[in-house]
Amino acid sequence: MIPASTAPTTTPRTLVRRARVAGAVSAGVALGVGELVSAFGAHGQSLVGGVANEVVDRAAGGAVRWAIDVFGTADKAVLVLVIVAVSIALGAWVGKLSLSRRWVGPVAFGAFGVLGMVAGLRDPLASKTVVVVAAMSAVLAGVVTLFVLLRVARTGHAVVVARPGPIERPGDAKGSRRAFFGWAGAAGAFAATAAVAARSLANRTDVEAARQLVTLPPATTPPGEPPVSVGDSFAVDGVTPYVVPNDRFYRIDTAFVVPQVDVDTWRLRIDGLVDRPFEMDFDELLALSTTEEVVTLSCVSNEVGGTLVGNARWQGVPLTALLDRAGVQPEGTQIVGASVDGFTAGFPTDAAYDGRTALVAVGMNGEPLPTRHGYPARLVVAGLYGYVSATKWLREIRVTRWDDVDGYWIPRGWSKEGPVKTQSRIDVPRAGARLVPGTTPIAGVAWAPTRGIAAVEVQIDDGPWQPAQLGDTVSDDTWVQWMVPWDATPGEHRLRVRATDGTGATQTSDVAPPDPDGATGWHTRRVTVETS
């Protein structure tokens, strides 16, 4: 009989299982430590975020489009979850391999660290030192954790305890199991705590505090013009407000980590094919006269009936004021906005000069631009989808030849020109609402920025198209709320909406997907009215 003290602590199968757990937990610790150290960087940077950014930038336009389609504005969170899950799965595999080949752990974690470091260093906003230190700390933490956990898995002890008698006294299987899962659990808890701490540290409000201190000078909208009335037109529950509050405004961008711009060092440059390129700081920009305009901004990825569209009051300097000061040369047929994070969007110079609203915006709904929406400055051009016009965290306005530069999304398969298509959406009754017979409103919004909306019509089942009542608008650049009172009868019904723009053109019924230049079709909703 084998004496208890020399009995094998673990069977080979248990050992492999524990090695997998050890590897997975070590990967978690590496990620947690990497995130925690990078969070000390300038703009809440993150190694995982850097990798996510690389994935977004490199992935074929199609994959990103698919992700936006499927996950909407949660696409970034999903991407991060995928990166974390893949890392932990790889870690489990590395743990198992490390049982027979000790070098696998250091090599795998090292490779992982280099990946995070390269991605981090490519982020133009990240502090390079922080990226390097974060990646090295992550590797070290991962390797040490793996080493310690594998030792506990084998021996039941974290350290070799020198004691008289047999060199290793692993104890009984139960004790070793408790020891291993105790250590692994502690390491896992540490990883989770580090990740949570990193997120709250990264979101510390340096830039937010600076933003809060910004006082926008009042807009110098043409004197004598009455203040814009931006109230809602119908007292219908569930209709999107005419002006969407900042915290409810859709957000779409490629920035995994929202750029945190320090206005003390920020400059806006106007250059390219201009006679007098110049630069100005934030105070100089704020000192210029501004106007406030209500403009509906829409994302080209918005599906028919989708929510990637919003209407806000934008305060800003007319783009032509800056372009005129620089003196656009005749061959300068494109305006390219460039962001501090490298994003670019270009539109025809003609769009800036044809009389439509085109602003370098500093204010949104009476506040300095929220960080997520481009603080300290962004472009807003009425009638053009955001991907060709609405550069957030604006750093440079470059005048180029139309064919010389393509904005970020163009090589990724989207149309070079992006005029906003006429669209209308049913907000109420909501999808899946339980309706009772009687009068109930059908209501929503419709938009055709720069052209305006002349009419909205609703069709119930195969009935005639009925005109909707239109709410008030302050200009043709904004959407309009619409409403039709409907005498709902029991049964299933199909509701459809279509709009006619200010040129007299009715929204097409042809169904087209968002790519390459915006979705078309009539928004349709099926509802059930219960027999009361």
- In this complex, which beta carbon is closest to ligand MTE, that of residue 407 or of residue 452? 407
392 vs 525 by CB, closer to Mo ion: 392
Contact between 299 and Mo ion per CB under 5 A = yes
Prior bond to 411 cis, omega within 30? Answer: no
Six-digit token string for 450: 């720069």
Q: 364 to each of 295, 312, 316, 396, how far by Cα in Å?
A: 10, 7, 9, 20
Cα dihedral sign for 249, 382, 315, 369?
positive
Which entry of ligand MTE, Mo ion, none binds 170, CB below 5 to 8 A by partner kind? Answer: none
Distance CA 32, CA 401 (A): 46
**Is the distance from CB of 521 to CB of 304 less than 8 angstroms?**
yes
Placement of tokens 């299982």 in the chain:
17
Of the candidate spans 136-144, 170-178, 251-259, 268-276, the one that interacts with Mo ion by CB under 5 A turns out to be 251-259
Positions in 54-73 near Mo ion (CB under 5 A): none
Residue for token digits 């043709």?
476
Nearest C-alpha neighbor of 359 from the set 268, 428, 281, 441: 268
The CA angle 250-234-308, to the nearest 5 degrees, is 15
* Least separation in angstroms between CB 504 and Mo ion: 28
Instruction: Choose one: 216-224, 270-278, 318-326, 384-392; the region binding Mo ion (CB under 5 A).
Output: 384-392
> Which one of ligand MTE, Mo ion, none interacts with residue 320, CB within 5 to 8 A by kind?
none
| For ligand MTE, the closer CB: 94 or 390 | 390
User: In this chain, which stretch among 3-11, 131-139, 249-257, 446-454 interacts with Mo ion, using CB under 5 A?
Assistant: 249-257
Residue 259 touching Mo ion (CB under 5 A) = no
Instruction: Report, in Å, the least distance between residue 326 CB and ligand MTE.
Output: 21
CB of residue 405 to ligand MTE, shortest distance in Å: 16
Amino acid occupying residue 364:
M
Residue 424 touches which of Mo ion, ligand MTE, none (Cβ within 5-8 Å per kind): none
Q: Which residues, 412 to 451, sit near Mo ion by CB under 5 A?
A: none
Give 507's contacts (C-beta < 8 A, 6+ positions apart): 421, 422, 423, 424, 498, 499, 500, 501, 520, 522
Q: How far is the CB of 386 from Mo ion (least distance, A)?
A: 4
Angle among Cα 439, 423, 360 to the nearest 5 degrees reads: 125
Closer CB to ligand MTE, residue 191 or residue 519? 519
Task: Please tell me whether the peptide bond between 516 and the residue prior to it is cis, using omega within 30 degrees of 0.
Answer: yes
When CB distances are held under 5 to 8 angstroms depending on the partner's kind, the choice from Mo ion, ligand MTE, none that residue 323 binds is none
Residues that bind ligand MTE (CB under 6 A): 249-255, 297, 299, 339, 341, 343, 373, 386-387, 390-393
Tell me the one-letter amino acid at 284.
Answer: E
Q: How far apart are CA 246 and CA 250, in angstroms?
A: 9
CB of 217 to ligand MTE, least distance (A): 22
Nearest residue to Mo ion, by Cβ distance, number only:
299
Provide, rounded to whole angstroms, the least separation between the CB of residue 512 and ligand MTE. Answer: 18
Instruction: Choose the one of ligand MTE, Mo ion, none that binds residue 428, judging by a C-beta under 5 to 8 angstroms depending on kind.
Output: none
Q: Which of 389, 500 has the CB closer to Mo ion?
A: 389
Among 32, 34, 386, 514, interactor with Mo ion by CB under 5 A: 386
Q: How far is the CB of 344 from Mo ion (least distance, A)?
A: 13
Instruction: Residue 88: name its binding partner from Mo ion, ligand MTE, none (Cβ under 5 to 8 Å by kind).
Output: none
CA angle in degrees (0–180, nearest 5) for 292-294-295: 125
The verdict on 337 binding Mo ion (CB under 5 A) reads no
Question: Which of ligand MTE, Mo ion, none has residue 391 at its interface (CB below 5 to 8 Å by kind)?
Answer: ligand MTE
Counting contacts by CB under 5 A, is residue 518 touching Mo ion?
Answer: no
In whole angstroms, how close is the CB of 339 to ligand MTE at the nearest point?
3
- Does 409 help bind Mo ion (rule: CB under 5 A)? no
Q: Which of these ranges, 172-180, 295-303, 361-369, 392-400, lies near Mo ion under the rule CB under 5 A? A: 295-303
Buried b (16+ CB within 10 A) or exposed e, 446-470: bbbbbbbbbbbbbbbeeeeeeebeb
Shortest CB 13 distance to Mo ion, Å: 52
Give the span between the Cα atoms of 184 and 188, in whole angstroms: 6
Find the shortest distance in angstroms from Cβ 409 to Mo ion.
8
Whole-Å CA distances, 332 to 95, 337, 348: 58, 14, 9
| Residues 125 and 59 sit within 8 Å (Cβ to Cβ) | no
Residue 270 vs 299, nearer CB to Mo ion: 299
The torsion angle over the Cα atoms of residues 176, 180, 183 and 186, rounded to 10 degrees, is -120
**Lookup result for tokens 């099926």:** 526
**Interacting residues toward Mo ion by CB under 5 A:** 252, 299, 386-387
